Chain A
Amino acid sequence: MTVKPSSVDESEISGAPSPESTPPVSDEVLATPEEGLEPRPGPQKRVIIIGGGIAGLVAAFELRRQGHDPLVLEAQHRVGGRVRTIRDFAPGLYAEAGAMRIPRVHDLTLAYCDLFGLELRPFVMGNPKTLVHINGQRMTTEEADAHPDKLPFDLADHERGKTWTDLWNEATSEFKQRYEEGGAGSLDALLHEFDQYSIREFLVMRGFSEGAIELYGVMSFRESNMNAAVVEQLREIVGRSFEDMQEIAGGMDLLPQAFYENLKPYVRFGAAVTTIEQDPDSVTVHYKGPAGRSSVTGDYAICAIPFSVLRDIEVLGTPFSRPKQKAIRELNYNASGKILFQTRHRFWEQQDGIIGGTTVTDLPIRRICYPSYSDPSDERGTLLASYTWGQDALRWGAMDAEDTIEQALEDVAQIHPSITTEFEVGAVQNWYDDPWARGAFALFEPEQQSRLQESIVAPEGRIHFAGEHTSLYHAWIQGALESGIRAAKEINEARQDVRP
């Protein structure tokens, strides 16, 4: 059985949880970028928004458009949260330490890019010329797909000759078929049925040999995430994303910056929230900044920070409900690490003809992503020299930046020896070590969706919740936007005369 080489990367590079298959964003939400929230008569509401990531920004933006009075408290000196473009390179060069691509099906995200006039261009996923470097053997993705037996995995007889995508497609065909037959309405029940299984358990159930599980783990970059809930994976299958990925020309941070341009007076930087206090009529948020402690009071608050960070914020007055507290404690956060290199030339283009796409390896760096855009005006480039998840990322996180770059250079040199002379400077981002992120993104463990999701999203009195972790688009900008709009809408529509 053969598979078109170009199809290989499409379903997995993104292997981060990517629930495009969640029921698509409703028309009403989708209309928000253009039309705003539905106007409601009534007094202006003062809304304190904790966190100036995309979720907090979009909530502030939409509330502002309805004439409300938002205030965004952001602990750092920048907006954007886990959308973070590093610009500490040669003039004009930049690289993404966080989110780096937008699936075409993420209509809501694209609508905001459109609203702000941001230019999009393709983010290359599948590229047959990229490399597979496993157990010291180097081949192109095309070769690996054409001759799966060249890869050193100990497969069972019935698995030989198949690529890992063949195997994954077979394993999920029943799910896909049941979804196609049942339609969108069947998705909840289907996901519920599979929610108890980890990826590993799912593969074992589907008859994968230990060698095939290893093949899948290595090639999909998920070897460290095999105990995460398989529903995170299944959601993306039905969503058919990754068919047409985009990036924002000039850097992903242009999106949070565009929001910021519209919100300048409503953002307070360097404001680290320590305590949230609510009574039946108001919410007071205490924060500390370089100049001391302060507090602000509003009618409502939106908590748009990760639960891992919220865990350390004290709640006074009415405490959060027990189910919310449990969700905050238990929701699993995955780690992610990125190592970025600036090089004198984009030698991978010149030497290997690789423009965009990803190389997979069993070396600690796990994968290299090449820039999709081959800038004719600059010979230099920035290479995503390593992108890791889970335990792989934590292991990198234990090293300081200097050692990280040195070790990554050694790994890349095994695949691209030219790196040694081409390398200029490097940068490192470990999301679990970032005090304002404390994890890269929410990633359900088995049964967390069934047991926690409702409590994750539910408001607590006058406090509403947003962020990718409160959506089913974990790890995606779309999740931040969708949940931010949801929280803004909840508040916009709340009746001031009714105590929550």
Chain B
Amino acid sequence: MSLPQDLPDPSPQPSPEGAPPVPRDVLSVPDQGLGNRTEGRKRVVVIGGGLAGLVAAHELKREGHEVVVLEAQNRVGGRIYTLRSFAPGLYAEAGGMRIPRVHDLTLRYCELFNLPLRPFLMGNPKGLVYIGGERMTMDEANADPSRLPFALEETERGRTADQMWEAAIGELREMVEREGDAAWDHIVREYDQYSLYEFLRMKGFSAGAIEYYAVMNFVEADMHNAVVEILREDLGKAYVDMQEIAGGMDRLPNAFYGELEREVRLGAEVFAVDQDTDSVTVHYKTEAGRFTETADYAVMTVPFSVLRSIEALTPFSRAKQRAIRQLNYHASTKVLFQVRERVWETDDGILGGATVTDLPIRRMNYPTPDATTERGMLLASYTWGQDALQWGAMDEETRLEEALDDVSRVHPRIREVYEVGASHAWYGDRWARGAFAMFAPEQQTELQADIVAPEGRIYFAGEHCSLYHAWIQGALESGIRAARQIHELPATN
């Protein structure tokens, strides 16, 4: 959200670069491991083979511990999910799709596994704005905001939504620049009680300006989530220089898997956990029957929404139970099109970036141009919150048909070039039950400590256990934290 001519950020999801940066001793883990200890070998069962579970298993194994990863699905990666049922060589991201340059820990692991990165284009002045049936470029919309049909007050006219937002958070931005991490305590104390909507009202936004900001930033269905989630990312200067993994984001979980093939058990659905003073027992089922795994410790990396229906035979603390029940999960849905000609490039000269619209699809993201093929993959719709739930209510055929209707209003030739489509609604995914954690007002203050705290021999990881909600970095950071907590414990007798 830096430059006015930039596209509105296609990712105002929570992304707390403004959260204290990952500490040096965590950042060194990809290269140097957790550090030698002599406390002895521990047996650790890791529940969930998403990024958090994989990194925890990887780092524990590197230190000589014995690990087993129980993954319910037939793939690793969790909410990193690259779809490959397209023409040979084509793929599309149903989940995590980009890495901010400031996510140093994520980039370190990409480097460790030699994964090639390339830019993920965010701002593109040639991207489109299609609102109230009017079509213009982002450049045009920013040059003359009055072309957009929002009922602004006199004082708001002529300013872009980004400019108004920057003015609203300018003081906080200065504070973070001046005081660094210390500013965050203040910001959370001061603003954690407010929703994004309330924050904008406090800053004097008119109803029209709130609508303008919300539509342009894809957050119209998120207005009652905690504003601190948005502040964290905007003040943290993320989105400057976003990257993607060439060849697909799933190359990262697959690289971890390459190191852990023998430790990972696929198709293993955990339904109960138990612990006593000496051990943890995890009950799981496969299509072939019911099994148990006993270990010294467990790392629980599944989302709280999924954990909610795993039975804790020795109950978790009341505070943890409350966090599991209450932590708010956000919805997200993606609809993806394979086309035989990238009409947005040929017709409109759009090379990457995004289009914003008030149609149900809300936004399109264009792929990085590929000179080797005329085909391409369009992220035809990427929605959050209630928008995403409404897409989730349709079957896939209807989703594709409705998305085609919408896209064809922006790109009339889409029907000619469309070949096949796919979609993923994360709230409808039983192993995710939500796209990512997103605090409701006051949840950071009231729940965060309980979210992260271990319960006896069970440690917790996953993006929801970090302050990098929704980001790979959050999965990695929390996975390393849990691995380190276990690694540094005295040896079990």
Interface of A with B (CB < 8 Å)?
135-136, 152, 154, 196, 198, 200-201, 204, 210, 214, 217, 223-224, 226-227, 308, 311-312, 314, 319, 322, 325-326, 329-330, 332-333, 335, 362, 364, 391, 394-395, 397-400, 403, 407, 410, 432-435, 437-439, 445-447, 451
The answer to whether the Cβ of B384 comes within 8 Å of any Cβ in the partner chain is no
Contact call B311/A410, Cβ cutoff below 8 A: yes
Complex-state Cα separation, A446 to B328, whole angstroms: 17
Complex-state Cα separation, A439 to B386, whole angstroms: 9
In the complex, chain B residues 89-114 whose Cβ is within 8 Å of any chain A Cβ: none
The listed residue (A135, A200, A394, A399) touching B318 by CB distance below 8 A is: A135
Contact call A394/B433, Cβ cutoff below 8 A: yes
* A445 shortest CB reach to chain B, Å: 5
Contact call A312/B389, Cβ cutoff below 8 A: no
Query: What is the 8 Å Cβ interface bit string for chain B, positions 420-463, against chain A (1 contact, 0 not)?
Result: 00000001111011100000111000100000000000000000
- What interface size band does chain B fall in? 35 or more
* Besides A154-B318, A333-B386, A398-B428, 12 other A-B contacts (C-beta < 8 A): A198-B195, A210-B446, A330-B220, A394-B389, A394-B427, A395-B309, A398-B432, A433-B392, A433-B393, A435-B395, A439-B386, A451-B207
Contact call B325/A362, Cβ cutoff below 8 A: yes
Complex-state Cα separation, A322 to B133, whole angstroms: 11
Complex-state Cα separation, A8 to B152, whole angstroms: 48
The answer to whether the Cβ of B33 comes within 8 Å of any Cβ in the partner chain is no
Query: What is the 8 Å Cβ interface bit string for chain B, positions 192-224, against chain A (1 contact, 0 not)?
Result: 010101100000000100010000000011011
* A307 shortest CB reach to chain B, Å: 10
Closest to B426 in A: A398
Given contacts A311-B390, A333-B386, whether A364 and B197 have CB atoms under 8 Å apart is: no
Instruction: Enumerate chain B residues within 8 angstroms of A217, measured Cβ to Cβ.
Output: 326
Contact call B318/A152, Cβ cutoff below 8 A: yes
Contact call A325/B318, Cβ cutoff below 8 A: no
Query: What is the 8 Å Cβ interface bit string for chain B, positions 347-378, against chain A (1 contact, 0 not)?
Result: 00000000000101000000000000000000
Given contacts A391-B328, A394-B389, whether A227 and B428 have CB atoms under 8 Å apart is: no
In the complex, chain B residues 242-297 whose Cβ is within 8 Å of any chain A Cβ: none
Complex-state Cα separation, A332 to B432, whole angstroms: 23
Instruction: Enumerate chain A residues within 8 angstroms of B193, measured Cβ to Cβ.
Output: 201, 204
In the complex, chain B residues 309-346 whose Cβ is within 8 Å of any chain A Cβ: 309, 311, 315, 318, 321-322, 325-326, 328-329, 331
The answer to whether the Cβ of B308 comes within 8 Å of any Cβ in the partner chain is yes
Instruction: Enumerate chain A residues within 8 angstroms of B389, measured Cβ to Cβ.
Output: 333, 335, 394, 432, 438-439
Instruction: Enumerate chain A residues within 8 angstroms of B66, measured Cβ to Cβ.
Output: none
Complex-state Cα separation, A395 to B308, whole angstroms: 9
Closest to A214 in B: B322
The answer to whether the Cβ of B394 comes within 8 Å of any Cβ in the partner chain is yes
Given contacts A135-B321, A223-B325, whether A407 and B309 have CB atoms under 8 Å apart is: yes
Complex-state Cα separation, A410 to B313, whole angstroms: 13
Complex-state Cα separation, A447 to B210, whole angstroms: 13
Contact call B405/A314, Cβ cutoff below 8 A: yes
Contact call A227/B318, Cβ cutoff below 8 A: no
Instruction: Enumerate chain A residues within 8 angstroms of B386, measured Cβ to Cβ.
Output: 308, 332-333, 439
* A362 shortest CB reach to chain B, Å: 7
Contact call B321/A326, Cβ cutoff below 8 A: no
Complex-state Cα separation, A325 to B220, whole angstroms: 13
The answer to whether the Cβ of B402 comes within 8 Å of any Cβ in the partner chain is yes
Contact call B427/A445, Cβ cutoff below 8 A: no
The listed residue (B207, B221, B392, B433) touching A432 by CB distance below 8 A is: B392
Instruction: Enumerate chain B residues within 8 angstroms of A407, measured Cβ to Cβ.
Output: 309
Contact call A438/B427, Cβ cutoff below 8 A: no
Can you offer 25 A-B residue contacts whose CB atoms are under 8 A? A154-B318, A196-B198, A198-B224, A227-B195, A227-B224, A312-B360, A312-B390, A325-B132, A330-B221, A394-B329, A394-B427, A394-B433, A394-B434, A395-B309, A395-B433, A398-B432, A399-B430, A400-B430, A432-B393, A435-B394, A438-B389, A446-B197, A446-B198, A447-B197, A451-B207
Complex-state Cα separation, A400 to B321, whole angstroms: 24
Complex-state Cα separation, A60 to B82, whole angstroms: 49
The answer to whether the Cβ of B28 comes within 8 Å of any Cβ in the partner chain is no
Contact call B427/A398, Cβ cutoff below 8 A: yes
Contact call B402/A312, Cβ cutoff below 8 A: yes
Instruction: Enumerate chain B residues within 8 angstroms of A399, measured Cβ to Cβ.
Output: 430
Given contacts A200-B441, A398-B430, whether A322 and B392 have CB atoms under 8 Å apart is: no
Instruction: Enumerate chain A residues within 8 angstroms of B318, measured Cβ to Cβ.
Output: 135, 152, 154
The answer to whether the Cβ of B398 comes within 8 Å of any Cβ in the partner chain is yes
Complex-state Cα separation, A204 to B326, whole angstroms: 17
Complex-state Cα separation, A329 to B150, whole angstroms: 14
Contact call B224/A446, Cβ cutoff below 8 A: yes
Complex-state Cα separation, A434 to B386, whole angstroms: 14
Complex-state Cα separation, A182 to B194, whole angstroms: 31
Instruction: Enumerate chain B residues within 8 angstroms of A308, measured Cβ to Cβ.
Output: 386, 390, 393
Contact call B309/A311, Cβ cutoff below 8 A: no
Given contacts A136-B315, A435-B395, whether A325 and B358 have CB atoms under 8 Å apart is: yes
Closest to A331 in B: B386
Given contacts A314-B405, A397-B428, A433-B393, whether A322 and B329 have CB atoms under 8 Å apart is: no
Contact call A433/B428, Cβ cutoff below 8 A: yes
The answer to whether the Cβ of B149 comes within 8 Å of any Cβ in the partner chain is yes
